[in-house]
Amino acid sequence: MCGIVGYIGEKQAGPILLNCLSWLECRGYDSCGIAVAGGDLTVYKNAVRVKALEETLPPGIKGTAGIGHTRWATHGEPSQVNAHPHGDCAGKIVVVHNGVINNFQKLRQQLSGEGHSFISETDTEVIPHLVEKYYDGDLAKAVAIALDEVVGSYAIIVMMAGEPGLVAARKDSPLIIGIGDRENYIASDVPAVLDYTNRVIYLEDDDIGVITADDVKVTRQGAGVDRKRHRILWSMEDARKGGYGHFMLKEIHEQPKVIRDTIQAYLLAEESTEDLFGPGDTYRASMLLLACGTSYHAAMIGKYLLEELFGTPVRTELASEFNYHGYNIAVDRAIVITQSGETADVLKAMKRLTGAGCPVTAITNVMGSTASRMAQRVVYTRAGPEISVAATKSFIAQLMALYWLALLYSKIDISQRDNLVTKMRQLPGKVQQVLDNDAVILKCAGQLVGYDHTFFVGRGINFPVAMEGALKLKEISYIHAEGYAAGELKHGTFALLGREAPVVAVVAQDDTYEAMLTGIKEIKARHSPVIALVAEGDETVGELADTVITVPQTDAIFSPVVNTVALQLLAYYTAKQRGCPIDFPRNLAKSVTVD
């Protein structure tokens, strides 16, 4: 999705904007641009990566204020003319925008009729023209009037030649202000400014901020408001590659620490009591788990866990589907799971749930994110910043939060619970074993690399693991991969099996084991090569499968953790051997802020 940045201070804005933009690359983008104000405005943009823009920047772009953008095309193809910033007729106003203007066609027609001319296909271009139309000496006022006419979602920064400040505004799209020393920053994401400051203000919907080098003023419907300043605890070091070839590999290797930190925080800190999730009754009544993508797979695993340990039914929903259901949505408690806390489908579902009077708990990784501010209760995962587009450590951290919830409120007896907590505390070591055993996984990646189609199968609590393994493989290696409940393959998909379609089977030591063996035999009978993930000590599966990846023994409920880590590595090594841009896969974005 698009990313936006702004700078105003005493330094040259160009290099700062480009550095901030480089931290937004993981959001996914197809073009980028900057505008710098030094007397006149200079705009430089193209359908290239940030590095390429930097290398071709003409000398002499000078100015101590500026705005920048990474664009993920929605209206109009990726091209120089459609890249942001966009300007008005007189070349005095420039705008960067994240979001979608739903009524842009109507506004464009109106403005064209009034003599404004447009050069791009974007929805965004109406904004600088509207601001131009309403400008009478006060930029913030013109922006406010312009936005009154706009229907849609936006985070914008507006800059005007000769005006002393940048104007920022948001609605349904995140925007923060980074507070510096005689300089200030604006960005769609916190990591963009962390090289310069860790003090931030989160703008709320309908806020308009006027940002100068020395001051930040926020207003809402014309009246001044005080927005709290937050100190961000992540450092940029947390977000650097630290010697790994890719962020994804670094993040996969951080998982033992993530598990340790999460358990430590939930076990020892103030959150070890009911303060963490709040009163247990609503969780044990009718509960809904809601998320998208990888986080949805965590929700699916959560359903197995909670049903098993609470003994009550739990519903899971894809947020993107939930928003189109007409039925009665009343549940006693909803948990939304979202790494970024900014996924538009999730936020829309949260609005719907809150509107229906349902208390919502958000499990999120990003402090201050929109979901964290909308929820009645927030449980933070302890994954640290996740830069790679493909979610890895945040997923494992989400599982830890769900394990904790399940154990906190389960009806199992205390000795059984203590036993599970002990096993949970062994997980960092078990995950480390998987990471240390990567030579076999690397070999399996060599077997997958030449195929176009794959299937991942699992049963029970490892069915979502198969879905997650398939999602990881397809998103970073571009190999078509489908995650299936192992028992479902025979209901149609068998038609696609054969020597050209390998199957990755996740075999757990639980009550699904025998059925998985039968399934593997059926798959082998159709000549598909089988890579099986098995627990240490298993002698049987090796006789059926072509290749075996062994993971450490754990209690069955924790098997998704070790199995997922092995599948993350499998996807990583396959994508690497295919020469794919692992951290920034084509067409994808880290936080999906449009629905």
What are the catalytic residues? 2, 590
- Compare residues 123 and 475 and give the one whose CB is closer to ligand F6R: 475
Of the candidates 299, 317, 312, the one whose C-alpha atom is nearest the C-alpha of residue 461 is: 299
The residue nearest ligand F6R at its CB is 293
- Compare residues 251 and 261 and give the one whose CB is closer to ligand F6R: 251
Would you give the binding string for ligand F6R spanning residues 378-417, x where CB under 6 A is met? ------------xx--------------------------
- Tokens 């998320």 appear where? 291
Of the candidates 2, 70, 63, 59, the one whose C-alpha atom is nearest the C-alpha of residue 35 is: 63
- Is residue 174 involved in binding ligand F6R (CB under 6 A)? no
- Compare residues 282 and 294 and give the one whose CB is closer to ligand F6R: 294
- Is residue 343 involved in binding ligand F6R (CB under 6 A)? yes
Of the candidates 199, 197, 147, 182, the one whose C-alpha atom is nearest the C-alpha of residue 168 is: 147
- Compare residues 36 and 445 and give the one whose CB is closer to ligand F6R: 445
Query: Residue 218 and residue 43: Cα distance in Å, rounded?
Result: 27
- Is residue 64 involved in binding ligand F6R (CB under 6 A)? no
Query: Residue 263 and residue 289: Cα distance in Å, rounded?
Result: 21
- Tokens 């006149």 appear where? 40
CB 17 within 8 A of CB 77: no
- Is residue 295 involved in binding ligand F6R (CB under 6 A)? yes
- Among the candidate windows 41-49, 287-295, 458-466, 570-578, which touches ligand F6R by CB under 6 A? 287-295
Other C-beta atoms closer than 10 Å to the C-beta of 326 total 5
- Is residue 570 involved in binding ligand F6R (CB under 6 A)? no
End-to-end CA distance of the chain: 11
Minimum distance from CB of 443 to ligand F6R (Å)?
Answer: 24
192: tokens are: 């963009």
Site size for ligand F6R (CB under 6 A): 15
- Is residue 255 involved in binding ligand F6R (CB under 6 A)? no
- Compare residues 116 and 352 and give the one whose CB is closer to ligand F6R: 352
Minimum distance from CB of 209 to ligand F6R (Å)?
Answer: 25
- Is residue 340 involved in binding ligand F6R (CB under 6 A)? yes
Minimum distance from CB of 481 to ligand F6R (Å)?
Answer: 13
Query: Residue 298 and residue 371: Cα distance in Å, rounded?
Result: 17
Query: Residue 167 and residue 218: Cα distance in Å, rounded?
Result: 10
Q: What secondary structure does DSSP assign to 42-87, as a single string?
A: EEEEESS-HHHHHHTPPTT---SEEEEEEE--SSS-SSTTTSSPEE
CB 197 within 8 A of CB 188: no
- Number of H-type helices and E-type strands within the chain: 21, 25
- Is residue 173 involved in binding ligand F6R (CB under 6 A)? no
Residue type, position 261, single letter: D
CB 21 within 8 A of CB 51: no
Minimum distance from CB of 591 to ligand F6R (Å)?
Answer: 5
Sole binder of ligand F6R in the list 173, 184, 339, 568 (CB under 6 A):
339
Query: Residue 566 and residue 577: Cα distance in Å, rounded?
Result: 17
- Is residue 568 involved in binding ligand F6R (CB under 6 A)? no
Minimum distance from CB of 192 to ligand F6R (Å)?
Answer: 17
- Is residue 508 involved in binding ligand F6R (CB under 6 A)? no
- Among the candidate windows 74-82, 221-229, 241-249, 336-344, which touches ligand F6R by CB under 6 A? 336-344
- Is residue 293 involved in binding ligand F6R (CB under 6 A)? yes
Helices 427-436, 438-448: inter-axial angle, 10-degree rounding: 60
**Can you tell me whether residue 548 is helix, strand or coil?**
strand
Would you give the binding string for ligand F6R spanning residues 445-474, x where CB under 6 A is met? --------------------------x---
- Is residue 294 involved in binding ligand F6R (CB under 6 A)? yes
Point out which residues bind ligand F6R (CB under 6 A). Answer: 292-295, 338-340, 343, 346, 390-391, 471, 475, 591-592
